[in-house]
């Protein structure tokens, strides 16, 4: 009985407000373009989807300490979709000795597609600089021969 009820309940709408795109995208012109995409899902999140997201978040958070690879995590401080606390926890709990956290004041969830171009370019430049630094630090040295 529980399985039947839970399977049925998984299809129920979980949230009355589904205006996530407006909480993810700060640039109003880009918001209009993205919101008008006919392929964008506009339905309400389902109970089953929300349950699975919660389960995966718990799994990921319980395994932060296993992260040993170099990483950069970026987050907007005004993100209305996910809280910057998750990015901070990853940074604090990961075992990696080469980790970076960049918080962008006032930026939303979609740091590249949803921010004004100057802000998005700043994020991209920071990512590029982080990658270039790792290539210099860890990458093979090329002497011009194959």
The series of mean pLDDT values per 10 residues for the chain, 146 residues long, is 58 62 90 90 82 91 95 97 93 97 97 97 99 91 58
Dihedral in degrees, nearest 10, Cα atoms 32, 109, 111, 78: 100
At residue 38, the pLDDT reads 93
At residue 8, the pLDDT reads 62
Burial class (CB in 10 A: 0-12, 13-18, 19+), 42: exposed
At residue 17, the pLDDT reads 58
Would you list the domain boundaries of the chain?
A: 1-37+45-136
Q: Which two tokens stand for residue 48?
A: 């089953």
C-alpha distance across the termini of the chain, in Å: 66
Positive/negative CA dihedral, 49, 52, 104, 126: negative
Rounded distance between C-alpha atoms, residue 52 and residue 48, angstroms: 6
Q: Which CATH superfamily is domain 1-37+45-136 in?
A: Alpha/Beta hydrolase fold, catalytic domain (3.40.50.1820)
At residue 50, the pLDDT reads 83
């Amino acid at each position: 009985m529980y399985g039947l009820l839970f399977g049925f309940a998984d299809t129920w709408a979980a949230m009355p407000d589904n205006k996530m795109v407006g909480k993810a995208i700060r640039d109003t012109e880009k918001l209009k373009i993205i919101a008008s995409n006919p392929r964008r899902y506009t339905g309400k999140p389902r109970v089953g989807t929300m349950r699975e997201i919660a389960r995966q978040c718990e799994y990921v958070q319980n395994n932060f300490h296993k992260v040993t690879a170099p990483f950069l995590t970026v987050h907007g401080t005004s993100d209305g979709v996910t809280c910057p606390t998750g990015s901070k926890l990853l940074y604090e709990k990961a075992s990696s000795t080469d980790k970076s956290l960049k918080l962008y004041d006032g930026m939303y969830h979609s740091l590249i597609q949803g921010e004004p171009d100057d802000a998005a370019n700043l994020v991209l430049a920071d990512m590029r600089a982080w990658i270039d630094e790792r290539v210099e630090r860890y990458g093979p040295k090329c002497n011009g021969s194959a």
